[in-house]
Structure 1
Amino acid sequence: MGTSAVAGRTRSMGALFAGVALLNTATVGLSTAATLIVAAGSGPGWSGLPSVANVLGTAAGAFGTGVLLPGHGRRRVLAFGYCVAAAGALAALAGALTTSVVPLLLGMLLVGIGNGGAQLSRYLAADLYPEERRGRALANVVWAGTVGALAGPALMAPAAHVVSGFGWPSLSGPVAVAVLATALAALAAVFLPRQVPVPSAAAGARRPVWSGAVVRPLVAMVAAQLTMVAVMTMTPLQLQDHGHGLDVVAWVLSAHLIGMFALAPLSGRIADRWGPRVTINAGLGVLALSTATALAAPTAHTSGLPVALFLLGYGWNLVFVGGSAQLSRDLAPETRSRVQGTVDAVVWSASALAGLSSGQLFAGGGYALVAVVGGVLALLPLVLLVPRDGR
């Protein structure tokens, strides 16, 4: 690969990394604030609605991005998605200022559309590298979420303090941060090169669409997303119900989000060294352990819950990176983008069920019931995904 090609790849990786980091920062603060606003205004049974709106938007954004990428290019498609997210953040800010649920949910939906494009950025990064390095390449972009894991929760309390000085509701602070972050993401996408040479695919037959090489990661990623969303969404309410404020919520969510993203390069190396299936199975096991920890220590905000939420995040990361690595290797180039977008759309659509049901589970049986259901969902694919072809 020549000097100009290497420079183009480096520039692409930088822009993809920045977009993911900024969208994660926006989504973390916005989703937490929106959950608490809806819970205060409509009751905990409806507190999952913002998460549902966001994941449905992410599903639509992932599918649309996968369809549009081959014909319109990464710069144009990602920049458009991030502009949609910025408009959504503005709508959500209007909802937070007026405690109106409709613009808040609309904003969550539109930010999700931009997030769908950000999620597919990992595949764009993988396509820049030879097959044996794709796990690490996509994991490096997933690792960008570490910025959001640190910045999103850390900015919530200071942003709430700043906007309170203007006479705004304190929960509008994290939403204002989301407006700024999504606007910066749109700017970052402009710096993507128009064309970047992509290493040719390795020789050998590709699996047909919707073969086991697609179905296995799809089922595992759906289960991981369901478990992660259900437990994560209800944790702020569990903490709030036990008298903790935004500072404690931010600390526990930081542990979770660090687990989701900070160790992604390790997950990528595991996927490249031992294969996607081993990586996926390890992630499902860690998810089951995390729900057991949450069930055993549901009120330990300085020990049990941060550990449980960290494990919840890293179990999801292992499944996410392992499944994505398989999808980046085993599909023909002409169908890869569309199938990847479709898989992400299915995963995020399914997790909308977790966002909505988690509120109902919490209202009916508390945090313990949410943890038990999450653990069952995490273990189920280990039974369903018994390999039949040796992969």
Structure 2
Amino acid sequence: MTFRLLCGQPPSGLWPGPNLFEPGEAFGRLLQLPSLTGAFAFTVIAQLLAALVYIIGLRSAPLAALSRAGAGAGRPASGFAILGGNAKARFAVTAVALSHGIMVALMSMTPVHLHDHGASLAVVGITISLHVAGMFALSPVFGWLSDRTGRVPVLLAGQGMLLASLVLAWLAPHAMVTPSLILLGLGWSASIVSGSALLTDTLTAGERPAVQGVSDLIMNLTGAACGALAGPVLAVIGFPGLATAVIPLVAVIVVWTALRALPARSA
């Protein structure tokens, strides 16, 4: 069993563009790099350029301004302390983190699954490209819907799309991989956008920087854990089994959402 199957693929934020895999292989051979690593040279260049844009272009300092505005109010509470006293914020952070973990678990093993069944790097690249398009292309729409219809309905719609993706991967792991990955991206987008908006709604301006940092930390740790565990799960029970193993994470979000609604209905 290969190392990447056991340990998973890199977190989604560190992936080179999926359609750069084949050009990356050619570039990697020129540099005598190991197989499947050449495309990450493009990622390094892109990250350096992004850092340069950040250093040169970001002249406003919103966090510094917020800190000055809060001067004299005492030492601000830590993000974890704020979450400890805010049930709505804990729900939003959990929904965002688990939605991200669901996405990473299935997405990270899809290239391995496709490759093991004879798909070329080009096919893998196109599949992941469509998944990434699902993740980001409609994010403004999900933001608009969150404002128009409410955060929770969009969050539940996102969970519905994630569940549909997992069911497709379970029932048709070969024929329906691409539709499954598109739905996975769309469900992630709806869930992350609405969950992040819900988190912002529960916090004051002074609380947001600390709690957002904690939320990002928990989200990325959850994604890393799910990506790492997905490899051994795939090795033992296959791609359909991996999809079914992740379904309980959707159930946690849906059940918690329903439980949060009970007091409001009885009031």
Q: Distance in 1 between matches of 2:198 and 2:4?
A: 41
Counterpart in the other structure of 1:366: 238
Which consecutive unaligned segments of at least 5 residues does structure 2 have? 67-81
| Alignment partner of 1:235 is 2:110 | yes
Q: Does 1:326 align with 2:185?
A: no
Please show how residues 1-391 of structure 1 align to structure 2 within 5 Å. 40=2, 42=3, 44=5, 46-48=6-8, 51=10, 54=11, 152-190=17-55, 191-195=57-61, 209=83, 210-300=85-175, 304-386=176-258, 387-388=261-262, 390=264
* Counterparts of 2:42 and 2:245, CA distance in 1: 33
Please give the per-residue CA displacement for 1:174-227, whole angstroms capped at 9, x wherever unaligned: 1110110110110110201234699xxxxxxxxx75423212212211221221
- Distance in 1 of aligned mates of 2:27 and 2:114: 23
Could you report, residue by residue, the CA deviation over 1:143-187 in whole angstroms, capped at 9, with x for unpaired residues?
xxxxx8xx8112221122233245444423211101101101101
Q: TM-score, normalised by structure 1?
A: 0.58
CA distance in 2, matches of 1:283, 1:365: 26
Instruction: Specify the code of the residue in structure 2 equivalent to 1:188.
Output: V
Q: Which moved more, 1:216-225 or 1:167-176?
A: 167-176
SS at match of 2:162: helix
Q: Distance in 2 between matches of 1:194 and 1:269?
A: 26
Per the TM alignment, residue 379 of structure 1 is displaced from its structure 2 partner at its CA by 2.5
Q: Measure how far apart 1:347 and its partner are.
A: 2.0
Shift of 1:313: 0.7
Maintained 8 Å contact 2:96/2:195: yes
Structure possessing the higher relative contact order (Cα contacts under 8 Å, 6 or more residues apart) = 2
SS at match of 1:258: helix
Structure 2 distance, partners of 1:43, 1:184, is 28
Instruction: Find the counterpart in structure 1 of residue 77 from structure 2.
Output: none
SS of the aligned residue for 2:38 comes to helix
1:159 aligned partner, one-letter code? G
RMSD of aligned C-alpha atoms?
Answer: 2.5
Query: Is the contact made by 2:27 and 2:39 (CA closer than 8 Å) also made in structure 1?
Result: no
- Answer yes or no: is the 8 Å Cα contact 2:7–2:229 preserved in 1: no
For residues 262 and 329 of structure 1, the distance between their equivalents in structure 2, rounded to whole angstroms, comes to 24
Conserved? CA contact 2:109–2:231, under 8 Å:
yes
Contact 1:238 1:367 in 2 (8 A): yes
C-alpha contact (below 8 Å) 1:279/1:319 kept by paired residues: yes
Q: CA deviation at 1:285?
A: 0.9
Kindly provide the amino acid, as one letter, of the partner of residue 375 in structure 1: I
| Structure 1 residues 266 and 166: CA distance shift in structure 2, 3 A | same
Deviation for aligned residue 1:390: 4.0
Question: With structure 2 as the length reference, what TM-score do the two structures score?
Answer: 0.83
Asked if the contact 1:156–1:174 (Cα under 8 Å) also holds between the matched residues in 2, the reply is yes
Residue 334 of structure 1: SS of its match in structure 2?
Answer: coil
Superposed CA offset, 1:42-77 (max 9, x none): 362x232x54xx58xxxxxxxxxxxxxxxxxxxxxx
Deviations 1:87-116 (Å, cap 9, x if unpaired)? xxxxxxxxxxxxxxxxxxxxxxxxx7xx7x
Distance 1:364 1:161, change over 3 A: same
Size of the alignment, in residue pairs?
A: 245
CA spacing shift, 1:211–1:388, aligned 2, 3 Å: farther
| Partner Cα distance (1:381, 1:253) in 2 | 25
Q: Hey, what's the Cα distance between the residues in 2 that align with 1:170 and 1:180?
A: 19
CA distance in 2, matches of 1:167, 1:219: 43
Q: Residues 96-143 of structure 1: CA distance to partner in whole angstroms, max 9, x if unpaired?
A: xxxxxxxxxxxxxxxx7xx7xxxxxxxxxxxxxxxxxxxxxxxxxxxx
Identity of aligned residues (%): 33
CA contact (8 A) 2:25 2:38 kept: yes
Cα distance in 1 between the residues matched to 2:87 and 2:246: 25
Displacement, 1:330? 2.4
Kindly provide the amino acid, as one letter, of the partner of residue 234 in structure 2: F
